[in-house]
Amino acid sequence: MKPALSAAALLVTASAGLAQARGDAAPAAEPTSAPPAPRDDVALQASRDYLIGAAIGSSANPLGTAEQKLSLGGIWAFQLGRWRFASSGASALLNQGRETVDSGVSTQLARGDRLALNTSLSIDEGRDWRDEKDPRYHGLGKVRATVRGRLTLGLTLSEHWSLTSRASQDLLGRDGGLRLDTGLNYRHRLSRDTHWDLSFGAGWANGTFRQTHYGIGPEGAAATGLPAYAIGSGWDSLSLGWRLTSAINRHWVGYAGLGVAQLQGAARRSPLATRPTTFSAGLGLAYRNR
């Protein structure tokens, strides 16, 4: 636990230090009759954004699961100073037409004309094999929930194309391992407030992550009758998604999307991958204060 706490503290300290080094010095103000706003007022101004709404979706999660599940839930996002808090469904809605918000707790480390670097924390809920319909899997050990630290690099390639790479590490030492996900995105604007995105993604994971999610140890094999399966690091997924996002008016925003994902390589050959190709769909509507 101590290494995990140290890693989390280092993540927060680094983001705070970089943010302070970047932006505390304000640019020269133009002549005006009103005095510049104090720093506390500026922070308060940045804390007034929030969004709340609802979404419905159909997916098989995690990838490789046979059961397609329908989910209905709330989506939300708000900002406190430099820190943002968002559910996954709100990631493209709070700042529609401006920039993307990572799910979980996030802050921006650096930003330029073409490059942005963000850090965030999120909860990985894990997996309980007793929830599976097939009783053969009930003897497998539970995949424990954990906190993941994420570092996301976004690069604008042109007016339409962008590239995103994200590293995600288990911070609590619960066999969550390391994941690297990269996506190439094409954005087509239909109007100032509406656009659609076509995204191509690929995922890599180290041996710890893949053994936890797709491997079967000797104990699990003995309890289930399934063959033992050891798996190392490697590329394990490809995905394709399409999403339409629109600011209906000043306050209301919505999205609709479709996706397909497929396991690759050794992960696809795992006895736990009962459905290598999965499809998803989602629809959401939310209110934002401004």
Residue-wise pLDDT tens digits, 103-158: 778 887 888 889 999 999 999 989 888 888 788 888 898 999 999 999 999 999 99
88 phi, psi to nearest 5 deg: -65, -35
Residues facing residue 189 across a β-bridge:
195
Q: Give the 3-state DSSP-derived string for 164-188, with helices as H, strands as E and coil as C.
A: EEEEEEECCCCCCCEEEEEEEEEEE
Give pLDDT, residue 103. Answer: 73
Q: Rounded to whole angstroms, how far apart are CA atoms 171 and 149? A: 6
Give pLDDT, residue 20. Answer: 37
Residue-wise pLDDT tens digits, 58-94: 998 778 887 888 999 999 988 877 788 888 767 668 7
Give pLDDT, residue 99. Answer: 54
Q: Residue 39: is its pLDDT beyond 50? A: no
Q: Residue 52: is its pLDDT beyond 50? A: yes
CB atoms within 10 A of CB 256: 15
Give pLDDT, residue 27. Answer: 40
Q: Residue 281: is its pLDDT beyond 60? A: yes
Residue-wise pLDDT tens digits, 154-203: 999 999 999 999 999 999 999 999 999 999 999 999 998 999 999 999 99
Residue-wise pLDDT tens digits, 249-272: 989 999 999 999 999 999 999 999
Give pLDDT, residue 38. Answer: 42
Give pLDDT, residue 225. Answer: 92
Unique residue bearing structure tokens 């894990």: 126
Give pLDDT, residue 84. Answer: 81
Give pLDDT, residue 219. Answer: 93
Rounded to 10 degrees, what is the CA torsion of 256, 85, 189, 199? -70
Q: Give yes or no for a contact between 108 and 118, defined as CB atoms under 8 angstroms apart.
A: yes
3 phi, psi to nearest 5 deg: -60, -35
Q: Rounded to whole angstroms, how far apart are CA atoms 12 and 9? A: 5
Structure tokens at 51: 């969004």
Query: How many helices (H) and strands (E) in the chain?
Result: 5, 12
Of 49, 54, 93, give the one whose Cα is nearest residue 75: 54
Give pLDDT, residue 136. Answer: 82
Q: Is the peptide bond before 271 cis (omega within 30 degrees of 0)?
A: no
Q: Give yes or no for a contact between 82 and 106, defined as CB atoms under 8 angstroms apart.
A: no
Q: Rounded to whole angstroms, how far apart are CA atoms 132 and 224? A: 13
Task: Indicate the residue type of 103.
Answer: S
Residue-wise pLDDT tens digits, 219-229: 999 999 999 99
